[in-house]
Structure 1
Amino acid sequence: MPKNVGVEPVFSRLTSGLPYLIHLYGDITMLLTQKPKSRYRGRQSKRPEITPHQAKQKAIRLLRENRLSPMAVQVTEALATGGVLTSGQLYHVTTVSPRTLQKYHKQYLLDRLPILADELMALDLADDPAKLRLYTLGPVGLEVARIRHEHVPTGYTGYGTHRIIHDVLTNEVVLRLAALAVERGYEPLWYSKYEATVHDERGNPALEPDAMPAVPRDGVYRYFVVEFHNEDKRTRARSKVDRYERVYRDGRWRNELETDEMPAVLAVFTHKIVGKGYREAISSRSMRPRCVFLGKSWRDVIAGDDMARWFNFNQGKMVDILED
């Protein structure tokens, strides 16, 4: 089992049914495949700036004096795992209110990532702009996460729309799968891309999935890794298959992921040609792949398709990943 315990307590509070739906396919494909024209910017926060030392001291004091509420712990844990989440996603994971999120922002636990108005309109993420506020860990929240975990996500401030939206959509895939698992009576786990990274003999990343959810089956957790594709070329799918097979043969994943089986790959793609790339890469191999590759289009995800039903590229048929 992986070293960290993910955010199981957070997932256990998911309501039955699917989490908050993001309605965005329309212009999202164009937005995802284009280079960002601008970086994140907006009005400067009214809160005073604090130094890294001050942030660390605040975090230590909060933890030492046990002043973090259960809700604050849930929110910071979710963001330490997912990196960036909309306020709507955070609500359906933790039931946190917009007002509480604002309070955490003032306390430096969270940071907001504002989007330019035209980009927000192009995304059409929801009918209520309040649900679209993007949150990451703030300076104090990051220090809290660093104390509690070995690896935490950073680097969102100053990045363009492409990187942010990629991670938001990846998290939406994980949240929808988790919601269905909860609906079926399972207790899913959610591990960050940092926890799912496998390194080579030199310590360099050999495999960097976007996320790693896990669902129990017959008393044993089955692990998956998510690969979100927003490109319109099939070549990256082939390189992914080759890389996973190479990492499988190397065997280092057993010690790093601490799993008995290599996690099955959940490939989500905004362009069907990527799915064709996976199919061709697997069918053309001289040896049967040792890894399991499953695919689903982003159009199906956003349309509310059954998140348990994925196309198994190895077998050439649809399967239920929560039961099969």
Structure 2
Amino acid sequence: MNKGILAALVAAILFGGSTPFAKLLLGGIDPWLLAGILYLGSGIGLTAVHFVTKGEQSRLGIGEWPWLVGAILSGGVAGPVLLMYGLSGASAATSSLLLNAEGVLTAVLAWVVFKENADRRIVLGMLAIMVGAAVLSWPTGSVEPSWPSLAVLAACLCWAIDNNLTRKVSLSDPVQIAAIKGLSAGVTNVVLAVAMGAHSPPVATVAAAGAIGFLGYGISLVAFVVGLRELGTARTGAYFSTAPFVGAIVSVLLLGETISLRLVAAAALMGVGVWLHLTERHEHDHQHNAMEHEHAHEHDEHHHHHGDEPLGAHVHPHRHEPMIHQHPHFPDAHHRHGHS
């Protein structure tokens, strides 16, 4: 299986699986404060990993910081605040349904604004996954348009912007990126929660939330960034949209919830969507323009720039000469060309 596909699915499994565990903590902690601690657990844990690991990775360059700052402001600050406002007036069922808009908005921005390739098979797969997510979380009652609902949709738009901006820095160290985002979002949300009157939870609750955040928000985000690097934004977002199904399955096992017809229907739809993506074969003659950048890489058909070929992954600034060839590919860092 392609490394990017595996990374995107791991991101979905970790994030979706963390939701039921976080739900178990909600009785003893303010929801906004819980969100902040989850982010902080992610940021603190990944910061430790960043300093302990010694693998070669490209560090963030000066020109990449504006993209990351924009991602943090949209997804780590504005998104959670808008979601909290929405949750204060919208039902949980309605909010769950509306949150599925993040995947759709992520793909639309990638295709329309950032001109990422959208094959018919990928679009159909995305639709199948999103319909499955909607079936899984469709409320039993009516859904009335309201300002809280619009706030949840605005939060989804913020996260969609975050996803597309993060793709701009995805060649850099994913652990560093995720650590910075986790710490920034965590501090922001904890400060806002305390300012809104949240009380300090028990130490055991904080520790559990931090551990859940490290896996479900931190490691998941690292895997998501790897997916962005290898697959592009829309495809990574599509695979990540299976997270609600993972959360539902974990809820069945952990919380004893029943297997419903909607869960089976959602599984079938998402299975079709993932199958359409897994069986994609995008291949044609394409041109690589001259390009200079830096990232961790091994020598392959796109990287021939040494007299003595080194073994294994390594990092340094390098130049790609113009080239025309044909092979199966995704819209990764080396295949962001236009299509007729």
TM-score range (shorter-chain normalised) is under 0.3
**Bigger Cα Rg:** 2
Asked which structure has the greater RCO (Cα within 8 Å, sep 6+), the reply is: 2
**What is the TM-score when the length of structure 2 is the normalising length?**
0.23
**What is the TM-score when the length of structure 1 is the normalising length?**
0.24
Task: Return the structure number with greater helix share.
Answer: 2
Task: Return the structure number with greater strand share.
Answer: 1
